[in-house]
């Protein structure tokens, strides 16, 4: 089976500072894959490199067999790799519905904007209830739902989530992870960076552990949860 997303010996960084040092990983269609690692090891840089916001200095990125690492960022999004960034980055002076509409502004997504919006509203009913309210009126958890919903509006083939549970109350984290599980049913593969290691590996099909810009461990979610190095380093067990 052809990977939905494949990175082969990917290297990138900022100026003279190399952050990613030959990262190889694959995400299969319909999978939820977790990317685990301490702060500063290159997780967000990896997403920014795949998204085209940081240029790769070596290696390749393919989306369903087509190279995307030389494309500009807007064309990578249109091709189907869509990132929901850390910190939400919403337009708080716009309504919920207007924020969602912004996400659909590419040639592939725009024609089915109404259908996609209804899918988002089914996934997050609170957004439907408050669709004409300003994004600034939402709670932190609701704003994160809106950020994920806006990314879904771009009709991703692969959805990348960067720390979606950051700063959320435990009950809201549970609701968000339930929704992420539902996204899989839309035939979307998910790559997720998450500090809540136990929760993300409990739901992920597979995971990769990034250390010093390299993949140091990989396996199923269950295998990684049982790995002694990961348990002692990231779970404190």
The domain total for the chain is: 1
| pLDDT (tens digit per residue) in 170-216 | 888 888 899 899 898 888 999 999 988 999 999 999 999 999 999 99
Residue 134 is assigned to a structural domain of this protein: no
Residue 99 is assigned to a structural domain of this protein: no
- Residues 212 and 183: their CA atoms lie apart, in Å, by 31
Pairing between β-strand 206-211 and β-strand 32-36 as defined by DSSP bridges: parallel
Q: CATH number, domain at 198?
A: 3.40.50.300
Domain that holds residue 44: 5-87+155-235
Q: What is the reported pLDDT for 87?
A: 65
Write the Ramachandran bin of 120: left for phi over 0, alpha for psi from -120 to 50, otherwise beta: alpha
Residue 141 is assigned to a structural domain of this protein: no
Q: What is the reported pLDDT for 202?
A: 93
Which pair of structure tokens corresponds to residue 166?
């950051």
Q: What is the reported pLDDT for 114?
A: 94
Whether residue 57 contacts residue 33, with contact meaning beta carbons closer than 8 Å, is answered with: no
- Rounded to a whole number of angstroms, the distance between the first and last alpha carbons of the chain is 36
Q: What is the reported pLDDT for 88?
A: 66
| pLDDT (tens digit per residue) in 112-170 | 999 999 999 999 999 999 999 999 999 888 999 999 999 999 999 999 999 988 888 88
């Amino acid at each position: 089976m052809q990977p939905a997303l494949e990175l082969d010996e990917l290297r990138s960084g900022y100026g003279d500072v190399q952050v990613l040092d030959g990262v190889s990983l694959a995400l299969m269609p319909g999978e939820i894959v977790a990317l685990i690692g301490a702060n500063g090891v290159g997780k967000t840089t990896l997403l920014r490199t795949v998204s085209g916001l940081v240029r790769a200095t070596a290696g390749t990125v393919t989306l369903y067999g087509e190279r995307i690492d030389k494309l500009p960022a807007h064309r990578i999004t249109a091709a189907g790799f869509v990132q929901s960034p850390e910190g939400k980055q919403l337009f708080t002076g716009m309504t919920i519905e207007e924020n969602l509409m912004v996400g659909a502004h590419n040639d592939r997504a725009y024609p089915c904007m109404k259908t996609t919006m209804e899918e988002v509203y089914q996934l997050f009913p609170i957004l439907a209830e408050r669709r004409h309210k300003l994004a600034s009126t939402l709670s932190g958890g609701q704003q994160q739902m809106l950020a994920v919903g806006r990314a879904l509006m771009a009709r991703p083939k692969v959805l990348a989530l960067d720390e979606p549970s950051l700063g959320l109350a435990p009950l809201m984290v549970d609701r968000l992870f339930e929704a992420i599980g539902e996204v899989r049913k839309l035939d979307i593969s998910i790559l997720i960076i998450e500090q809540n290691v136990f929760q993300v590996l409990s739901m992920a099909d597979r995971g990769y552990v990034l250390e010093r810009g390299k993949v140091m461990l990989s396996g199923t979610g269950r295998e990684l949860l049982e790995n002694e190095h990961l348990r002692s380093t990231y779970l404190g067990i």
